[in-house]
């Protein structure tokens, strides 16, 4: 590969060939890693086991063609073990900096040093991106001073939190709303000013909407600095699942232009959310980076210590790819483990984040050869870390190479995205056979999956849709994915969506089809928000947001991803339905948060019964498409009767007999038009019969006041 210094003398000659000022270094400290602010200067420390020399570069502007100052790190005086460190006096917060590293370029042995490339600090707290940033220049031979991302020194201790702390809302009363920072307010119809739209500040402006809806936690798609150009030509990496830094907030999510802006504006957002009683959960990507395959760009980790940071293939010139993104972080290497835990500690302690959702978390179970470990050190480090105690830890318990650990994820405090909840209810409501026993289990918190762990019901994060796949509207409007605009010949995205278009592909003016779609959407929302477990809904599902059938909409910064605020009025019935469901869910959960009972206790102590179209006669056969469930909520003094009809014809359900003086009241019937589809549960109208007709593909919830003994 051209442009790589063949030996150390060439490297030094290249350094001295610049017109830059060289700052006389002081020894500095190996800890903490990153750039640490002191009153009289900055201490820099970076890990590299195999480098022969490290160079610290300072820039006056993010697009400078050359560094303004250089500090070479002496391998004898500025190195302790594998840590390169230096204290540079009179440098202040706001200083732009980066590294270059010299060492062997020997891909067959996993070494990929390139002294021409500008490297990000793995522990950098902020990143600047030149207007002419070039991913290609980081991949091709030659220097890339002017076109490289660089770090900024940040004083993280200067912020006034005004007494704020993470909320630690009990999982039993948590309602998660998965959302994208930019998408939430970028649409011109959001009512947010142009300077704040699509930013952390813009999200602050819309907190009243979230509070009114009843949300207790937002789960943000990745906000770590990512490479938006890591995508096919003609599109943009919009979702952010290509990280370049695990300590820096994404710069373009800030309305401020100063170097400290993204860090402090993120904290402003978290503080404002907390004041509204809403937690901030981050979707974190510790399974790969934006450096891609072996022929990808050198941005940071590859150029500092490739064989440490990545799991290498048997051919060590290439990467093992369990992420589907070209490389895999070597998460259980001690250095990488420490970086991951340090990152989480930073976001929890310095940025007051309330929890983390781990993308493709099963990769964190793999060792340096890619084998799944029985007790992965990094997962136990996270699980047992005292700084992280009380934060919500949510695993996407699978990876792109087929490892699937839903129900068996390692650790005591982890919750899991329950992919089987999603798949089973999707299949049931589109009329597939054999799903009645499965949905019965999902309604009760999936004890088939989780009971052996003796954990609370909220270990199961229940969802029907998420960012990855169809929106709830598109789930009932499309049989097939429509990803042609992604410039990949509709080959990307999942093929198994378990969706059903209700009789017509895409938007329709047929009122009968639209009513059926509305009903199906309410069915999905009802089971998500009323089943045992912690519910999660996707941004915009409460107003039927559509992506036009694109089930992998990661690469579009346009209306297909943005929240359309006119939909609140257009689909006011769905919005109202969700608000009333959440209001009752949160009220019920407040009663249980003090109990701290595990799933096994809840199920054993509950007075419950399964029914079919006749009381106490459930049909568990493969040909069954309906089920009824009765239970008592003693804390509220209520009995509840849950009827699910996944059949394509109406069914008559005989209701369980009542005690003298009691009667059933209709709270929810998804087949009815608004406002009768759901009512304030305190004013639910009486049924007046022991037979309830349940329309095809609908859900009914009846309640009754329990007699006091």
Alpha helices in 151-294 (DSSP H): 181-185, 200-205, 207-213, 261-275
DSSP label at 554?
Answer: T
- Note the residue count of the chain: 709
Structure tokens at 254: 């800030």
Going by DSSP bridges, is the β-strand pair 79-80/608-611 parallel, antiparallel, or unpaired?
Answer: unpaired
CA distance 597 to 21: 65
- The alpha carbon dihedral of 28, 30, 34, 37 has a sign of negative
CA distance 32 to 44: 8
How far from 600 is each of 271, 297, 607, CA to CA, in Å? 37, 50, 13
CA distance 684 to 678: 9
Alpha helices in 276-403 (DSSP H): 301-309, 334-349, 377-384
Going by DSSP bridges, is the β-strand pair 698-705/34-38 parallel, antiparallel, or unpaired?
Answer: unpaired
Q: Are 477 and 507 in contact (CB under 8 A)?
A: yes
Q: Are 367 and 291 in contact (CB under 8 A)?
A: no
Residue 647 has φ and ψ, to the nearest 5°, of -80, 155
| Cross-strand bridge partners of residue 537 | 177
Q: Given its phi and psi angles, is residue 489 left (phi above 0), alpha (psi -120 to 50 degrees) or beta?
A: left
Structure tokens at 141: 């031979």
CA distance 540 to 561: 10
Written in H, E and C, the secondary structure of 391-444 is CEEEECCECCCCCECCCCCCCCCEEEECHHHHHHHHHHHCCCCCCHHHHHHHHC
Structure tokens at 144: 């890339």
Q: Are 506 and 549 in contact (CB under 8 A)?
A: yes
Residue 102 has φ and ψ, to the nearest 5°, of -110, 140
Q: Are 485 and 441 in contact (CB under 8 A)?
A: no
Helix (H, G, I), strand (E, B) or coil at 338: helix
Catalytically active residues, by annotation = 359, 396
Q: Where would I find the beta strands (DSSP E) of 77-208?
A: 79-80, 83-89, 96-102, 105-106, 111-112, 127-128, 150-152, 176-179
């Amino acid at each position: 590969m051209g442009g790589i210094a063949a030996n150390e003398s060439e490297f030094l000659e290249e350094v001295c060939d610049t017109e830059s000022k060289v700052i006389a270094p002081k020894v500095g400290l190996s800890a903490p890693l990153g750039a640490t602010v002191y009153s009289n200067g900055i201490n820099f420390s970076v890990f590299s086991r195999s480098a022969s020399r490290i160079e610290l570069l300072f820039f006056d502007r993010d697009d400078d063609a050359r560094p303004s100052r250089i500090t070479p790190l002496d391998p004898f005086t500025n190195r302790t073990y594998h840590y390169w460190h230096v204290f540079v006096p009179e440098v202040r917060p706001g200083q732009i900096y980066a590294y270059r590293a010299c060492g062997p370029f020997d891909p067959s042995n996993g070494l990929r040093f390139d002294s021409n490339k500008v490297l990000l600090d793995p522990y950098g707290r902020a990143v600047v991106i030149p207007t002419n940033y070039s991913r290609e220049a980081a991949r091709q031979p030659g220097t890339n001073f002017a076109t490289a991302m660089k770090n900024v020194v940040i004083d993280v201790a200067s912020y006034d939190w005004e007494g704020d702390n993470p909320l630690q809302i009990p999982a039993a009363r948590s309602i998660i709303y998965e959302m994208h920072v930019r998408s939430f307010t970028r649409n011109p119809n959001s009512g947010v000013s142009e300077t704040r739209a699509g930013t952390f500040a813009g999200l602050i402006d819309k907190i009243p909407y979230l509070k009114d809806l009843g949300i207790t936690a937002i789960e943000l798609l990745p906000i770590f600095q990512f490479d938006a150009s890591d995508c096919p030509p003609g599109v943009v990496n919009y979702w952010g699942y290509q990280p370049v830094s695990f300590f820096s907030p994404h710069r373009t999510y800030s309305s401020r232009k100063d170097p400290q802006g993204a860090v402090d504006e993120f904290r402003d957002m978290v503080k404002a959310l907390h004041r509204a009683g809403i937690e901030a959960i981050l979707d974190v990507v510790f399974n790969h980076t934006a450096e891609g395959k072996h022929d990808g760009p050198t941005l940071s980790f590859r150029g500092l210590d490739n064989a440490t940071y990545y799991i290498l293939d048997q051919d060590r010139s290439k990467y093992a790819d369990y992420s589907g993104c070209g490389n895999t972080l070597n998460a259980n290497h001690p250095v990488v483990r420490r970086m991951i835990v340090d990152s989480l500690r930073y976001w929890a302690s310095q940025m007051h984040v309330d929890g983390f959702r781990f993308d493709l978390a099963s990769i964190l179970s793999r060792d340096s050869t890619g084998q799944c470990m029985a007790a992965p050190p990094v997962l136990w480090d996270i699980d047992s870390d005292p700084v992280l105690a009380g934060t919500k830890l949510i695993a996407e318990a699978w990876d792109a190479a087929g490892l699937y650990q839903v129900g068996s994820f390692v650790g005591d405090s982890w919750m899991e995205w329950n992919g089987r909840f999603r798949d089973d209810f999707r299949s049931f409501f589109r009329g597939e056979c054999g799903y009645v026993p499965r949905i019965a289990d999902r309604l009760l918190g999936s004890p088939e999956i989780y009971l052996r762990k003796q954990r609370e019901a909220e270990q199961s994060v229940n969802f029907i849709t998420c960012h990855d796949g169809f929106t709830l509207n598109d789930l009932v409007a499309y049989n097939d994915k429509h990803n042609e605009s992604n410039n990949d010949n509709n080959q990307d995205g999942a093929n198994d969506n378990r969706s059903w278009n209700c009789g017509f592909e895409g938007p329709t003016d047929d009122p009968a089809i639209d009513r059926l779609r509305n009903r199906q959407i309410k069915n999905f929302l009802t089971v998500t928000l009323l089943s045992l477990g912690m519910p999660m809904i996707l941004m915009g599902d409460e107003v039927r947001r559509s992506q036009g059938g694109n089930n992998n909409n990661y690469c579009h910064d346009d209306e297909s991803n943005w929240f359309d605020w006119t939909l609140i009025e257009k689909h006011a019935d769905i919005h109202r339905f969700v608000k009333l469901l959440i209001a009752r869910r949160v009220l019920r959960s407040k009663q249980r948060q003090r109990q701290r009972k595990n799933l096994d206790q809840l199920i054993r102590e509950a007075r419950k019964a399964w029914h079919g179209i006749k009381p106490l006669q459930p049909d568990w056969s493969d040909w069954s498409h309906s089920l009824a469930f009765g239970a008592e909520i003693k804390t509220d003094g209520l009995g509840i009767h849950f009827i699910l009809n996944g059949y394509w014809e109406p069914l008559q359900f005989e209701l369980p007999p009542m005690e003298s003086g009691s009667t059933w009241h209709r709270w929810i019937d998804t087949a009815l038009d608004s406002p009768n589809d759901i009512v304030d549960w305190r004013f639910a109208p009486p049924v007046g019969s022991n037979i309830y007709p349940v329309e095809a593909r609908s859900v009914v919830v009846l309640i009754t006041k329990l007699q006091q003994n």
